[in-house]
Amino acid sequence: MLTNLRKRNLTARLRQPADELWDRYLGVHTFGYHPGSGGPGEREWYMHYIPSSYRDVFAVLDRAGVGPDDVVTDLGCGLGRVVFAAGHRSAARVEGVDLVPSLIDAAKANLAGSRLKHRDIRFHARNALDHDLGMTTLLYLFHPFGPEILGEVIEKARADRRSAGARRSLRIAYVNPVAESVLNEAGWLRPVGDMPPRPELFSNALHYRTAFWESTDV
Ligand SMILES: C[S@@+](CC[C@H](N)C(=O)[O-])C[C@H]1O[C@@H](n2cnc3c(N)ncnc32)[C@H](O)[C@@H]1O
């Protein structure tokens, strides 16, 4: 399995050269794959780890207007590509959360060797449902789990914001928004835009639509 993983990473790195260059520039290794579990219709539908292309991640962060006042949280961060990209875009604090401890161990090792190691970047091996979102201003989701968990996360985000007395609105960027109806029906989020998938030259990475919301609670 390890040999397969190594081979897969090598192939991806060759076929996604811009992402390989970004990894090298940032001093991290974010190519990889980890299987998910469950499936549509099950509460515990956890998606596999596969990173988005840096070009897409930066496009999403820029569209969301990430800046030095932001606390960005990637729920389902894997090896941390989005986290490092948000750090590079100068977010005040970036948090990455993943259910799989080995991915978080590798993400932490990435941080230790990265040019961003002195920034406020934190990784947590935990279920998204156990992460406090009270201070988060930009929530990044790349279809990490199914609609039930998503609904619970969104309700918890609202409760966390109330407990923290959040004064800034929460923006949400949802890549491959399979369960977007959950956000549309939450009652305290309004849709604020949509970005179509765009093909990328010299890359075999998959591309997805991204949808954006903003909270109406502050
Ligand atoms: C599609 S990958 C996203 C990778 C990364 N965010 C990116 O955009 O490149 C989905 C990730 O969500 C994680 N995940 C799935 N269910 C989760 C849960 N309940 N809590 C935390 N992480 C979860 C998986 O382990 C996987 O690494």
The token pair at 96 is: 């990455």
- From the CA atom positions of the chain, what is the Rg in Å? 16
The token pair at 114 is: 């990265």
**Cα 140 to middle of ligand 1, angstroms:** 10
**Number of separate domains in the chain:** 1
Q: At CA 196, angle to CA 153 and CA 218, rounded to 5? A: 40
Q: What is the CATH number of the domain that holds 66?
A: 3.40.50.150
d(CA 14, CA 5): 14
Helix (H, G, I), strand (E, B) or coil at 177: coil
| Domain region containing 149 | 2-215
> Is the backbone of residue 178 left (phi > 0), alpha (psi -120 to 50) or beta?
alpha
Q: pLDDT 10s digit of each residue in the chain, 218 long?
A: 345 555 568 989 999 999 999 999 999 999 999 999 999 999 999 999 999 999 999 999 999 999 999 999 999 999 999 999 999 999 999 999 999 999 999 999 999 999 999 999 999 999 999 999 999 999 999 999 999 999 999 999 999 999 999 999 999 999 999 999 999 999 999 999 999 999 999 999 999 999 999 999 87
Tell me the best of 19, 33, 46 to mutate to test the pocket of ligand 1, counting ligand atoms within 8 Å of each CB and taking the most: 46
d(CA 8, CA 150): 30
- Name the residue with tokens 């919301």: 213
The pTM for the full model equals 0.96
- Name the residue with tokens 């949400």: 172
| 52 touches 82 (CB < 8 A) | yes
Q: Which residues lie closer than 8 Å to 187 by C-beta, 6 or more apart?
A: none
- Name the closest-CA residue to atom 10, ligand 1: 144
